[in-house]
Amino acid sequence: MKSKLGPQRIMFPLPTVLVVTGNMEKANIVTIAWISMLTGSPPTLGISVGSRGHSAELIKKNKDFSVNLASSNIMTEADFCGITSGTDTDKFSESGLSKMPSELISSPIIKECPINIECSLKDIQMNGKTYQFVGEILQTHVDEDKLGSDREPGSLDIMAVDPLIYYSGVREYWRLGEKVGDAYQIGKKLKK
């Protein structure tokens, strides 16, 4: 048997990212869970940003943003950036998170986040009261100490990255458990 939850309960786990827009002098951070890779070539991702917050207007004006993956050790700071607004809060100074210059965009990246993605704004769509910003990925940075040694070059030690998982249906934060299999491989067991 299955229970019907209706269309508006989004129950699946999502990564927690911190989206930064602005420049090294003045930048805002917004916590975002509604994020997805969109295309591999060109590399693009999409973020959904409510029009009521401060960030949507800033992203439209600034035309670039960085996406910074939150680890569980900055859970409190990530939550803070999701319950305060850049209209009246300098989230960098109040959270203690540190700005670092990006290589190719004006928006800074966050030093404490293990993965930082520089995006230029490629497209904007509006669905209801929510903007979908499409970012073209121009550069990705990772902490050297989070690189995995035993796999292909550039792969990450995912347990060291320790992504902060947002379980949206019940508004809880979780961590990863353990590796259970190899994608695109394990399913071959069922091939006839």
Residues at the contact surface with ligand FMN, assessed by CB under 6 A: 16, 28, 30-34, 48-50, 53-55, 79, 82-87, 166
Q: Which is nearer to ligand FMN, 147 or 168 (CB)?
A: 168
Which residue is at the shortest CB distance from ligand FMN? 82
Q: Which is nearer to ligand FMN, 147 or 176 (CB)?
A: 176
Q: Which is nearer to ligand FMN, 32 or 109 (CB)?
A: 32
Q: Which is nearer to ligand FMN, 16 or 116 (CB)?
A: 16
Tell me how far, at minimum, the Cβ of 4 lies from ligand FMN, in Å: 24
Q: Which is nearer to ligand FMN, 92 or 103 (CB)?
A: 92
DSSP state of 24: S
Tell me how far, at minimum, the Cβ of 140 lies from ligand FMN, in Å: 20
Tell me how far, at minimum, the Cβ of 110 lies from ligand FMN, in Å: 14
Q: Is 103 left (phi over 0), alpha (psi -120 to 50) or beta?
A: alpha
Distances (CA, A) of 86 to 81, 121, 157, 186: 9, 20, 33, 45
Q: What are phi and psi of 70, to 5 degrees?
A: -85, 135
Euclidean distance between the first and the last CA atom of the chain, given in angstroms as a whole number = 30
Single-letter residue type at 34: W
Tell me how far, at minimum, the Cβ of 121 lies from ligand FMN, in Å: 15
Residue among 104, 21, 97 nearest 66 (CA) = 21
Is-cis flag, bond preceding 7, omega within 30? no
Tell me how far, at minimum, the Cβ of 58 lies from ligand FMN, in Å: 7
Q: Which is nearer to ligand FMN, 26 or 151 (CB)?
A: 26
Tell me how far, at minimum, the Cβ of 184 lies from ligand FMN, in Å: 28
Query: What are the strands of the beta sheet with 165-167, ordered from one edge?
Result: 13-15, 165-167, 172-174
User: In which element (H, E) is residue 155 found?
Assistant: none
